[in-house]
Structure 1
Amino acid sequence: MSSNANARTGAPPTMERVPTPVGTAGITWYPAHGTARAAALLGHGSATGVESPDLQSLAASLPRRGVTVALVTQPYRLSRTRTGADEASLDAAWTALWPRAADLGVPVISGGRSAGSQVACRTAQRLGAHAVLALAYPLLGPGSPAELLATGRPTLVVQGTADPFGRADQFPALPAGIELVEVPAANHTYGTPNAIPRSVTMDLITDATAEWIERRLEQA
């Protein structure tokens, strides 16, 4: 079944397996409700897959706002090996998958969480991404301020204030094209103390992302 057709018609989520130079990757499509206004191609981190709560929350909420979401499972995770988890392999797989989203004919937001956000940052300008969404960007390693600042595209960083890989207050001064949203008390997986319900944190992430995408589309 064609994933692009599903994305256009608002069909239920479907999983597509796609060959890449470094192995078979997966794309799970969550079609926009009605006519798609944009698409978000989102990758997972190194410790979790597309089942992570933040990616799942975006996949559940953004389609209602006219954004098709495509969650990418990198080949190494699909094959359950660590072969192909290096930067070059991750970028090569992402590049091979990009046309699946670009062929929808709408602006494509490139993004992901942690390692997935790094892939988006490294490839956004070359692939022609409309914008970059960086969830839990690992600023203190393996990411870097230089990598983040070099996206060449409008970028939204959604960062926990208790993230050990880089708290929101540890980011450098950011240029006008890069926005930073703080998630109170959240760690690298957006976990928070019991006093803050998970739903509150996820709503903050999805609402901030949706509002930012809306502004990006208005300025297109």
Structure 2
Amino acid sequence: MTDRDPITVETPHGPAAVHLDEAGIDDGGAPRGLLVLGHGAGGGVEAPDLMGARSAAREAGLAVARVLQPYRVAGRKAPAPAAQLDAAWAAVVAHLRDRLPGVPQVHGGRSSGARVACRGAAALAPVGVLALAFPLLAPARKDGTRPDRGPEIDAVTVPVLAVSGANDRFGIPEQTATREVVVLAGDHSLRARGPVAAAVGPWLERVLAPAAV
């Protein structure tokens, strides 16, 4: 199965489409890990930063699953409520865990997808979370306030790699004891596919090293 043949996974809120690269399966082996990626609010799984992360993961011998949420499969651009996104994500993760049992998972995504991965980390137990263009601040409300989404990424206890554009209008996460931060040239669209891959590859190696022991 390749990314050209998406699989359908039923979720509580409709079918999700999963573009799956099963590294190592064709050779009769198992992948070192599985990177599961979600897309941005109105975007898809072909975003440059997601493709950069995919390239790095495949180079490192991981399988990669890029998940198109049910609302996008249905042709809608306006995102579903957070609870629906999270439930669909959990259903896909469970399906992938059954498909590739015993394979350590790294969860992530860009923007809205990064938020979903962070919110689900406690329950879904990835070994790491990849947050591409994580939006620390929401778009301004009518009164000018911008809700803080920092608690979503701050709650993650496994290692996190946050990759952001230097001019991201939604803010850039800060480095912590468990969170590495890479700032690249660009904005929230994070179109620097090559630099994203260069940042993600070494981090994946570090995150998966304990799982291989």
Counterpart AA for 2:62: V
CA deviation vs aligned residue, 1:100-127 (integer Å, no higher than 9, x gap): 2223121100100000000000001111
Instruction: Check conservation: 2:114, 2:130, Cα contact below 8 A.
Output: yes
Q: TM (normalized to structure 1)?
A: 0.83
Dislocated runs of 4+, deviation >4 Å: none
Match among 98, 117, 128 for residue 120 of structure 1: 117
Corresponding residue number in structure 2 for 1:62: 57
CA deviation vs aligned residue, 1:112-153 (integer Å, no higher than 9, x gap): 000000000000111111110000000112661111110121
Superposed counterparts of 1:21-100, under 5 Å: 21-33=12-24, 35-81=30-76, 85-100=80-95
Distance in 2 between residues matched to 1:143 and 1:28, nearest whole Å: 32
Match among 131, 145, 151 for residue 150 of structure 2: 145
Counterpart AA for 2:178: G
Distance 1:150 1:96, change over 3 A: same
C-alpha displacement at 1:204, in angstroms? 1.4
CA deviation vs aligned residue, 1:55-77 (integer Å, no higher than 9, x gap): 12333342132011100000000
RMSD over aligned Cα, in angstroms? 1.8
**Greater Cα shift, 201-210 or 38-47:** 201-210
Distance in 2 between residues matched to 1:146 and 1:73, nearest whole Å: 25
**Would you say how many aligned residue pairs link Structure 1 and Structure 2?**
197
C-alpha displacement at 1:12, in angstroms? 6.5
C-alpha displacement at 1:210, in angstroms? 1.1
Match among 174, 190, 212 for residue 203 of structure 2: 212
Residue 155 (structure 2) pairs with residue 154 (structure 1):
no
Q: TM (normalized to structure 2)?
A: 0.86
Distance in 2 between residues matched to 1:68 and 1:13, nearest whole Å: 14
Distance in 1 between residues matched to 2:18 and 2:164, nearest whole Å: 25
Structure 2: runs of 5+ lacking an equivalent: 139-146
Instruction: Check conservation: 1:38, 1:67, Cα contact below 8 A.
Output: yes
Corresponding residue number in structure 1 for 2:128: 131
Distance in 1 between residues matched to 2:103 and 2:210, nearest whole Å: 14
Structure 1: runs of 5+ lacking an equivalent: 1-5, 192-200
Give the structure, 1 or 2, with the largest relative contact order (CA under 8 Å, sep 6 or more). Answer: 2
Corresponding residue number in structure 1 for 2:103: 106
Instruction: Check conservation: 2:56, 2:200, Cα contact below 8 A.
Output: no
Instruction: Check conservation: 1:75, 1:84, Cα contact below 8 A.
Output: no
